[in-house]
Structure 1
Amino acid sequence: MDRRGTVAAVAAALTAGTLALTPTASQAAGHPRPHPPSAPNRVLIVLFDQMVPQYADQFAMPNFRALRDSGTTFDKAHLGYMASETVMAHNVITSGLEPRHMGWTDEAYRDHANVFGKGADQMHITGDLSLADFALIEKNDGVAYPKLADYLHARYPGTSFITVGEKSYAVESATGASGDIAVRMSSRRSNVTDNAPTGCRNLSIPGVPGNGQWRSPAGKNVPAYLNRPDPTDPTLCGRYFVNADKANDYGTRAAFPSWLYPGEGNRFVPGNDPAHLGGDTWVADAAIEMMQRETWSGMFVTLGGIDKAAHMWGAQADTAPQDCTTLAGMTHTRCAAENADVQLGKLRAAVEAVDREKGGRTLVVLTADHGATYGETFLGSRAADAGNSNWYYAPPELGVWDAGTTGVLDTTTYSNPSPAIAALNSDGNVQFSYQSTAIETWLLDRSTRAKKATATRMLGLPGVIATYRKNAAGNHFVLQGTNRMTRSERSWWAAHAQSIVDTMAAPDGPDVVGLLHDRTSYGVYGDHGGAQESVQRVPMVFWTPGARGHSTGESFRTPDLLPTVLAAMGIRPTAPMDGRAHSLRH
């Protein structure tokens, strides 16, 4: 969406185990890969958070369809790992590793080596970690591994790897230690009386006076031009300062099921202030400015709007007609998807301009960090603001750290689980539990006997189709038992479940895992996290200018993304990866 001067213009835009070398890595170790003729010298990854592949055809997403239909598309791509969540995917994509080899495996992290200094085996919520925290735990059994930024630095010295998005944990897990520029929205600030940049007097929503809490660009090496003041009045905040007041929820706090996880101003939606558009529009505009101004070889643009909308309204079930010109309409899944597509069109145009002006070619990758399911069978609390306490359960006598090295122990926020999850702790052995479209539980007593007892108890919880317990060596999950499944559920489960669950077998990971029926959730009405096909399926498109359209049913897992990018760019891997390279048609 362009930054235009009227609400009508905004509306028009809106509607328009053991780590083994892969064959590729093994071959590359002994035989340097020749640089392909006219290989791309830049890569842009555009991630649509929680985009289900069907949205591209279901909604008005012509830009996505154009790149998909003229690029190489893996139409059977799936994550191939758990947990199927944002905080996992961004590092899987940039490392080529499964979660068990990348340092953390889920929304929760057991600090078995006490790297955060809060005590061995203390539990931390990974979505609250800082950039420094992620850099600290990005290690495979204590050994740091290269990521996309490292490979690009080695091939193109002096160039930058840039990450930009709304969410701190999405941006910072992808950036890690070696990313150069990381831009995300700051924490919420409330000074609406002082001049910029300390205060923002100009960030109330048009038609909604007051309610001026705001966010601005923050992160690592944020370019000064993104924090510049208003060009016509330096006492006012500039373009990348946006309203994020919780009071401006656009009806999501009063409606069900959105009240489980309501909106907050223009953090994930554009809004109706043309000088301060938020959400994915904010992300794309910032990305394009950096494309034009920086010398870069890699950029990761993560668009969070679909995710927020789908969580609130039930993902695939959010089909009622909406007017995307209104603030309330913008909060819905179709409007978010169509706005994300407008941003993709802008990004493609910017990439083509960069290729013309700076030379070379840019490889564009379109994907998602996870799919989604509608929680038709919903097993969490339906109370307002219950999303986080549905997802996370920490017994009050234990608590959970809300961040890594600088966090505080929270013994209240996450101690109000649904009755079913409370029953899981009937023997007092649960240290922490995370539940969404799966249940993952960490135990105090981790003996085989204790894990069997919890896995058996978990098998009796509502919605569970199978439970697994981590073996004594910690490198594999043993199937404890199953319940009745539908034919389609059993087919997917038999083909994929064991390998997906095993990707969580690490010291920091859960001790017991329960998989759920399709269209079943404990968290919110549009959810992810588990092994069901709908939360595992993701779009996977590779495009360069002049590419020939090619769709393939070849098996593709998200850990394959990095080795495939490196192969397309003629870059030889220097470390083992869990993914393998695929050939792209040019």
Structure 2
Amino acid sequence: MILRKRAMLLAAPVAAAASMLFLAPAMAKSATRPASHPASAPSAATPHGAPRLVVAIAIDQFSADLFAQYRTHFTGGFARLLTGAVFPAGYQSHAATETCPGHSTILTGDHPARTGIIANNWFDQSVARAKKSVYCAEDETRAAADPKDYVASVGHLLVPTLGERMKQANPASRNIAVSGKDRAALMMGGHNIDQVYWWKSNAFTTLDGKVLGPTAVAENAVIAKQLGAGSPGYPVPGWCGAFDRPVVANGVTVGNTHLPMAKGDATSYRVSPRLDRATLELATRLVDEQKLGQGTAPDLLAVSLSATDYIGHATGTEGAEMCIQLTQLDLALGDFFTQLDKRGVDYLVVLTADHGGFDLPERLDQQALPIAARADAALVPDALGKAIATRLGMATTAPLLLAEGPAGDYWIDRTLTPAQKHDVIVEAKRELAAQPQVAAVLSAEELAAEPMPTGSPETWSLIQRARASYYAPRSGDFVVLLKRGIVPIPQARPGYVATHGSPWDYDRRVPMLFWRKGMAGFEQPSAVETVDIAPTLAAQIGLPVVAGSFDGRCLDLDAGAEDSCKGS
């Protein structure tokens, strides 16, 4: 099954990618129903009235491929969501398929070109510090107490989130976010947020200068006891047996570890289902503390679950570890929804992901997929910069090129003249054109001249995908896109054997699931985008929004009933 799925994924044209997904029988009754409308001012209310609580869940690195592969085995929270509105071919349509850009699209309704969140990290050679790399969720103008740390901030996000729009319309609305990562919580919560928490080191924390609330203190106490006790590995579900086999990558063995936790080992806590369950438990506590869904205005609870990403990076997407993770996550989500039910809150859930993911090449090689490979070390910025400098006869003490790795945005030493920078770009294109792993090299000038893409994201060209990630004040001087199946990790190491970040559909395509009690279930196979989520939720709660406020469009969630986007 895995071989067939991955072979199709790597070889099929992009336009056909959505058709590879397994589609449930429920799809048939609504496949021809119009699914969306341009975003504008939504109707005053849905046929069922506006929900009192919106729960937006993002699962980090939960690709549409994983969703399709595991969906028949779900019995908990995912099984409930599958009875609602199912869009199996959602798209994080941009090229920079990383955590920060992906999360920035979900509740803003905008592409990274508009949110300004072009990557997890970018280089700003003008910052007044030795380190020129800037993290998407930091305030680089402030020094942290620990020189190895940073001050977390949402300052780089250029647009409002749905929660901020709700609070602007009615200050009584509560805007809450919790996650295993600061960048996820902050990009979903935004600037005007009532409570925000994320995992750091061995406990949940919050913004600098903010007091840790009593619910977070209570959850941290529970976690401290768990860490002190340690925990054996998880049982492997019987149907996961085929995945339970060792794979070695550069001396690192993965695929058959069952995610035990030694006493005091916060890393193994984080890289396991334990983190997601703790995040959902904290979210439940916040529902009670903030009385979410019980006020005069609708509230928003944003929850980003990070363990799938941590496990995907550390062990890949096709081993026993991922099988255990998705099984346990399904159960944890089921428990979370049951707790919400007990509180009698009228809530609407949307679940999606910030990006997909790709398995480690060593396991894919065992499945006879030689197209999967690790990036050539010659593509690493330092090596590439030295090769270009030598060819151009440039003598420079500073690195010629700055970049996070062998793909994505590259910045040229800003001390060079415009003519020299032009020569570097020309030579980089020539050098990289000879590299068999490179699909495209696009200059900032080319990206700036490219119109923002429209239409179905499954048909976008590479330059269109890169354009959706391009924001001139932060983006690089050129961007390098690797070919399908090339993993931008030249050498595996403990905790980092596989990744994402490519412009290909295995990293772009994610599920989008909506559920509310009484919702008529349906499945729509057509391609949609994560930027469609915010305008859809705005319509569901009757939030007036000025036309053109979103890059996305409203999706009709009321199959067989009055159009929930009527008036949009």
Are 2:486 and 1:499 equivalent residues in the alignment? no
1:452 maps to amino acid: V
- Asked if the contact 2:37/2:553 (under 8 Å) is kept, the reply is yes
1:108 maps to amino acid: N
Are 2:166 and 1:152 equivalent residues in the alignment? yes
2:359 maps to amino acid: Y
Map 1:121-520 → 2, pairs under 5 A: 122-126=132-136, 134-139=153-158, 145-186=159-200, 188=201, 214-219=202-207, 220=210, 222-228=212-218, 238-241=221-224, 256=252, 265-267=265-267, 269=269, 278-296=274-292, 297-316=299-318, 318=319, 322=320, 332-354=321-343, 356=344, 358=345, 361-376=346-361, 377-379=372-374, 423=387, 430-435=400-405, 438-444=407-413, 445=416, 447-471=421-445, 474=448, 476=450, 495-506=460-471, 507-520=473-486
The number of aligned residues is: 452
* Alpha-carbon shift at residue 241 of structure 1 (Å): 3.2
Q: Which of 577, 583, 586 is the aligned partner of 2:550? A: 577
Are 2:80 and 1:85 equivalent residues in the alignment? no
Query: Structure 1 pair 135/225, CA: closer, same or farther in 2 (3 Å)?
Result: closer
* Deviations 1:202-222, CA, capped at 9 Å, x for gaps: xxxxxxxxxxxx434444553
TM-score, normalised on structure 1? 0.67
Q: Measure the CA separation in 2 of the matches of 1:520 and 1:536.
A: 15
Q: For 1:577, what is the secondary structure of its paired residue? A: coil
Query: Structure 1 pair 269/33, CA: closer, same or farther in 2 (3 Å)?
Result: same
* Deviations 1:365-404, CA, capped at 9 Å, x for gaps: 011110011242443599xxxxxxx9995x6xxxxxxxxx
Q: Which of 31, 34, 50 is the aligned partner of 1:39? A: 50
Are 2:60 and 1:49 equivalent residues in the alignment? yes
2:325 maps to amino acid: A
* Alpha-carbon shift at residue 472 of structure 1 (Å): 6.9
Aligned match of 1:403: none
Q: Measure the CA separation in 2 of the matches of 1:557 and 1:457.
A: 35
* Alpha-carbon shift at residue 133 of structure 1 (Å): 5.7
Q: Measure the CA separation in 2 of the matches of 1:424 and 1:576.
A: 43
Q: For 1:435, what is the secondary structure of its paired residue? A: coil
Q: Measure the CA separation in 2 of the matches of 1:504 and 1:568.
A: 28
Query: Structure 1 pair 222/341, CA: closer, same or farther in 2 (3 Å)?
Result: farther
Q: Measure the CA separation in 1 of the matches of 2:86 and 2:374.
A: 36
Aligned match of 1:542: 514
Aligned match of 1:100: 113
4+ residue runs over 6 A deviation: 242-245, 247-254, 491-494
Q: Measure the CA separation in 1 of the matches of 2:88 and 2:309.
A: 21
* Alpha-carbon shift at residue 284 of structure 1 (Å): 0.9
More helix by share: 2
Query: Structure 1 pair 218/278, CA: closer, same or farther in 2 (3 Å)?
Result: farther
Q: Measure the CA separation in 2 of the matches of 1:367 and 1:288.
A: 19
Are 2:565 and 1:563 equivalent residues in the alignment? no
* Alpha-carbon shift at residue 504 of structure 1 (Å): 2.4
Between stretches 344-353 and 33-42, larger displacement belongs to 33-42
Q: Measure the CA separation in 2 of the matches of 1:422 and 1:461.
A: 16
Q: For 2:403, what is the secondary structure of its paired residue? A: strand
Q: Measure the CA separation in 1 of the matches of 2:482 and 2:549.
A: 32
Q: For 2:134, what is the secondary structure of its paired residue? A: strand
Q: For 2:198, what is the secondary structure of its paired residue? A: strand
Q: For 1:47, what is the secondary structure of its paired residue? A: strand
* Alpha-carbon shift at residue 50 of structure 1 (Å): 0.6
Q: Measure the CA separation in 2 of the matches of 1:472 and 1:271.
A: 40
- Asked if the contact 2:160/2:190 (under 8 Å) is kept, the reply is no
Q: For 2:555, what is the secondary structure of its paired residue? A: coil
- Asked if the contact 2:152/2:182 (under 8 Å) is kept, the reply is no
Q: Measure the CA separation in 1 of the matches of 2:447 and 2:523.
A: 41
Q: For 2:107, what is the secondary structure of its paired residue? A: helix
- Asked if the contact 1:134/1:173 (under 8 Å) is kept, the reply is no
- Asked if the contact 1:86/1:369 (under 8 Å) is kept, the reply is yes
Q: For 1:539, what is the secondary structure of its paired residue? A: strand
Q: For 2:510, what is the secondary structure of its paired residue? A: coil
* Deviations 1:16-70, CA, capped at 9 Å, x for gaps: xxxxxx9744x42xxx732334122321011111112243453443235423431
Q: Measure the CA separation in 2 of the matches of 1:430 and 1:547.
A: 56
Are 2:86 and 1:73 equivalent residues in the alignment? yes
Are 2:469 and 1:521 equivalent residues in the alignment? no
Q: Measure the CA separation in 2 of the matches of 1:271 and 1:535.
A: 20
Query: Structure 1 pair 97/422, CA: closer, same or farther in 2 (3 Å)?
Result: farther
Identity over aligned pairs, percent: 18
Q: Measure the CA separation in 1 of the matches of 2:190 and 2:389.
A: 35
* Alpha-carbon shift at residue 534 of structure 1 (Å): 0.5
- Asked if the contact 2:215/2:289 (under 8 Å) is kept, the reply is no
* Deviations 1:383-426, CA, capped at 9 Å, x for gaps: xxxxxxx9995x6xxxxxxxxxxxxxxxxxxxxxxx66865675
* Deviations 1:213-259, CA, capped at 9 Å, x for gaps: x4344445532232149xxxxxxx721437779x9999999961669
2:154 maps to amino acid: A
Q: Measure the CA separation in 1 of the matches of 2:537 and 2:387.
A: 46
Q: For 1:95, what is the secondary structure of its paired residue? A: coil
Unmatched segments (≥5 aa) in structure 2:
1-35, 141-149, 234-245, 293-298, 362-371, 490-495, 560-568
Query: Structure 1 pair 349/305, CA: closer, same or farther in 2 (3 Å)?
Result: same
* Alpha-carbon shift at residue 160 of structure 1 (Å): 1.7
Q: Measure the CA separation in 2 of the matches of 1:532 and 1:34.
A: 39
